[in-house]
Amino acid sequence: MSEGDSSDAVSFGVSFGVPEGVRRVFARTSGATRVVLVRHGEAVCNVDGVVGGIRGCKGLTDRGRRQVTALAESLSASGELRGAGALYASTLPRAIETAELLLPALGEGTRTVAERENLSELHPGDADAMTWQEVIDTFGVPEWDLHPEHQIAPGGESWTGFVARAGEAVRSLAEQHRGELVVAAVHAGVIEATLIHFLDIPPARSRRGFVRVQHASLTEWEWLPERMQWVLVRFNDAHGVPETP
């Protein structure tokens, strides 16, 4: 490696003289804001088929705790999230529990979990704590591929409203922590929303489920304010930890 190169540059494949004007892959930018989103581990509502809003969420299963603990141990060994400026979680128990298990991996500088309601999964309104069969029997199910503006249930969010809310919630973390590393324990829907929101994916191409987000996996964004650009650094990174049996 020649003088002036960085290991990051080599690992991101941007050395070897590729001209700036045609380069498609860039090294990490010094001083960029890093936002690492961690999906919670397997939750009780996931396996019970219950709508997991603020009433329906009962936290992680034993398997979910093992998943997050294994991730935290791997992150502690690598040290890659040490020095985080803050650790956030949604207000849902499965995300809070995930954040608390991750806390030791962030080092001495981060000692508390800051809860943010706007980082929560799609608000289910009157469907909260129902089984999905009860939701179908009571409200029917909106066809979001055709009508993403329809609410999931009275008092709940639409798909388009949720994507806008969740995307802006993560954007606000980047604005609040410019130049820092910030970590947030969130939900599959929030991660999916950032992909749609930050990559400006048209609605016709952002059908629900167009990505699959693994439990206890990391998705990392860089925010480059001088370019007004989000860079997706990694997605669905389970950090080498297999699904925990």
Assess if residue 112 is contained within a domain.
yes
In a domain, 111, yes or no: yes
Note whether residue 30 is domain-resident.
Answer: no
34 in helix, strand or coil? strand
pLDDT digits (tens, 9 = 90+) for 121-175: 999 999 999 999 999 999 998 888 888 899 999 999 999 999 999 999 999 999 9
Residue 14 lies inside a defined structural domain of this protein: no
Q: Which domain holds residue 141?
A: 38-237
DSSP E strands, 26-132: 33-39, 86-89, 114-115
- Residue 11 pLDDT greater than 60, yes or no: no
**Beta strand 218-224 with 33-39: parallel, antiparallel or unpaired?**
antiparallel
For residues 14 and 27, is the Cβ–Cβ distance under 8 A? yes
Please calculate the CA angle 54-56-58 and round it to the nearest 5 degrees: 90
Angle at 141 between CA 151 and CA 98, to 5 degrees: 70
Q: What is the pLDDT of residues 43-57, one digit of tens each?
A: 999 999 999 999 999
pTM for the model = 0.88
Q: How many domains does the chain have?
A: 1
- Is residue 71 included in any domain, yes or no? yes
Domain-embedded: residue 15: no
- pLDDT of 77 strictly over 80: yes
CATH value at residue 69: 3.40.50.1240
Please indicate, yes or no, if residue 33 is contained in any of the structural domains: no
Q: Is residue 109 part of a domain?
A: yes
